[in-house]
Amino acid sequence: MTGLSVHKDIETILLTEEQIRKRVMEIGEKVSEHYQGKDLHLVCVLRGAVVFLADLMRHITIPCSCDFIAIASYGADTKSSGVVRILKDLDDSVQGRHILIVEDIVDTGLTLNYILRLIRSRNPASVRVCALLDKPERRVVPVEIDYLGFTIPNRFVVGYGLDFGQRYRNLPFIGVLRPEIYGGA
């Protein structure tokens, strides 16, 4: 854990390191069972999901590969702009493969919906979604999450890969950021 300067910015810890570790292990077991005997290819949505991906992969007991896609919809803001841009496309073909999109958080659904349409247009064998967090209160576009870590309230959270201004990703827990830090007060 980092110094006190990070903790003073956290209003409350929403999910502990232990809660996250236990749930990621459970998801890894379910993914391994479902994809047994299939060509599993994980697609990590950068940057927020990289910590989740790293831990999840260690709990998947079947052979798998991974790739990364970077999407922008927030910029420096705390709310999605609704405009989605690809910053980094996939390096590998998804055609004929079983794709599991690994996402950090689903709120409006706009970004995930865009990624799903993009991946499906490339003729994979299947596409499913694994998200660490879901904020259903913010949903604008309906999306299905096949493997979900936690449903959380509509609070601005950081840690375990999630950031504000590229900070706080290194926290081992999910914490609610103090509103005065991001201008939400």
Is the pLDDT at 21 greater than 70, yes or no? Answer: yes
Is the pLDDT at 11 greater than 50, yes or no? Answer: yes
Model confidence pLDDT, tens digit, residues 130-181: 999 999 999 999 999 999 999 999 999 999 999 999 999 999 999 999 988 8
Domain limits for position 123: 18-153
In a domain, 140, yes or no: yes
In a domain, 23, yes or no: yes
Beta bridge partners of 103: 131
Q: Is the pTM of this model over 0.85?
A: yes
In a domain, 106, yes or no: yes
In a domain, 6, yes or no: no
In a domain, 109, yes or no: yes
Model confidence pLDDT, tens digit, residues 48-65: 999 999 999 999 999 999
The answer to whether 143 and 109 have CB atoms below 8 angstroms apart is yes
- 107 counts as catalytic: yes
In a domain, 48, yes or no: yes
Beta bridge partners of 129: 101
Domain count, the chain: 1
Is the pLDDT at 25 greater than 90, yes or no? Answer: yes
In a domain, 171, yes or no: no
For the record, the structure tokens of 147 come out as 């493997």
Angle at 72 between CA 12 and CA 93, to 5 degrees: 115
Model confidence pLDDT, tens digit, residues 76-133: 455 555 677 899 999 999 999 999 999 999 999 999 999 999 999 999 999 999 999 9
* CA pseudo-torsion sign 141, 131, 79, 112: negative
CATH number where 115 lies: 3.40.50.2020
The active-site residue, picked from 55, 107, 134, 163, is 107
2 vs 22, higher pLDDT: 22
In a domain, 149, yes or no: yes
